[in-house]
């Protein structure tokens, strides 16, 4: 039996979740960063998992594009886990639709609440979610082990779809533009932002970061900056920095293409 878990992560929630699922499965998986793979990906595994963060109630575009590039030679058991800050929205239904187009089906789609990396989660709730994570992942792994089918969590109503079209348009065209980032005088030009960006969208110019146009909006640069020098004036401003406590910065470098 060959098993793979594909993940994308800006602040480690998804990587920590993917690793924990793997620990609890009997058949061990390869844990593969989505952003490290350019081009097409042939799927030979019997079990496939996707672990991703919810962005604006939807599947992140980087995950969507990756799924569209997958080439299947058989019909594996497919599950997906959406880490989120309380609003998984249509993200798991997005995956289901993409897989259907490829002649595959999503058997299990589970949402797990984690600390938010965009809107700040109050400290006590963040602590509770991290404390309960292992129990929740154990429950998810039990469902995967028995190849559970027919559960897709979230909201696929017409109102949700219309809302997400409008919010998505505003978000991706105005709020989440990489042009919004600013760097304070605290920046030492250490290059952590450049190194941590999973899609190589940041380059240093005169020891200061410059963002290109293909931002995945994962907020890795903002949260992992050791000087807390990156901020914006629109959405995240100077919110409290976060990364999953089990994830180190070196783990994030695994995602580089």
198 lies in the site for ligand FMN, by CB under 6 A:
no
| Nearest distance in Å: CB 7, ligand FMN | 8
54 lies in the site for ligand FMN, by CB under 6 A:
yes
CA distances for 53 relative to 50, 71, 146, 163, 191, angstroms: 10, 23, 24, 19, 25
Which residue in 6, 47, 50, 55 binds ligand FMN (CB under 6 A)?
55
Which residue in 3, 35, 84, 104 binds ligand FMN (CB under 6 A)?
84
Stretch 118-137: interaction string toward ligand FMN, x if CB under 6 A: x-------------------
- Residue 104, classed as helix, strand or coil, is coil
Q: Per CB under 6 A, which region of 61-69, 77-85, 99-107, 180-188 contacts ligand FMN? A: 77-85
**Which residues, numbered 207-236, are part of the site for ligand FMN (CB under 6 A)?**
217-219
Is the CB of residue 238 less than 8 Å from the CB of residue 7? no
| Nearest distance in Å: CB 71, ligand FMN | 26
Question: CA dihedral defined by 111, 115, 116, 121, rounded to 10 degrees?
Answer: 120
Which residue in 86, 122, 226, 257 binds ligand FMN (CB under 6 A)?
86
Nearest to 76 by CA among 98, 48, 42, 40: 48
Is the CB of residue 108 less than 8 Å from the CB of residue 151? yes
Rg (CA), the chain: 18
Contact residues for ligand FMN, defined by CB under 6 A: 9-14, 53-57, 83-89, 114, 116-118, 176, 217-219, 244
């Amino acid at each position: 039996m060959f098993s793979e878990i594909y993940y994308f992560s800006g602040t480690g929630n998804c990587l920590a979740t993917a690793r924990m699922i793997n620990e609890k499965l009997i058949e061990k998986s390869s844990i593969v960063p989505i952003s490290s793979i350019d081009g097409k990906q042939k799927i030979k595994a019997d079990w496939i998992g996707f672990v991703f963060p919810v962005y604006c109630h939807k599947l992140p575009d980087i995950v969507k594009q990756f799924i569209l590039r997958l080439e299947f030679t058989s019909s594996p058991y497919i599950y997906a886990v959406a880490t989120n800050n309380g609003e998984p929205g249509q993200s798991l239904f997005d995956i289901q639709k993409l897989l259907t187009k490829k002649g595959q089906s999503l058997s299990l789609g589970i949402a797990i609440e984690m600390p938010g990396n965009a809107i700040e989660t109050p400290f006590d709730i963040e602590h509770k979610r991290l404390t309960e994570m292992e129990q929740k992942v154990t429950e998810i792994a039990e469902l995967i082990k028995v190849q559970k089918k027919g559960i897709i969590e979230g909201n696929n109503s017409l109102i949700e779809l219309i809302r997400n079209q409008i919010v998505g348009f505003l978000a991706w065209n105005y709020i989440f533009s990489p042009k919004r980032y600013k760097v304070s005088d605290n920046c030492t030009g250490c290059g952590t932002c450049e190194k941590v960006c999973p899609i190589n969208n940041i380059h240093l110019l005169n020891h200061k970061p410059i963002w290109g146009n293909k931002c995945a909006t994962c907020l890795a640069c903002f949260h992992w900056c050791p000087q807390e020098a990156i901020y914006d004036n629109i959405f995240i401003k100077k919110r409290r920095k976060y990364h999953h406590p089990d994830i180190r910065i070196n783990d994030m470098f695994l995602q580089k293409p």
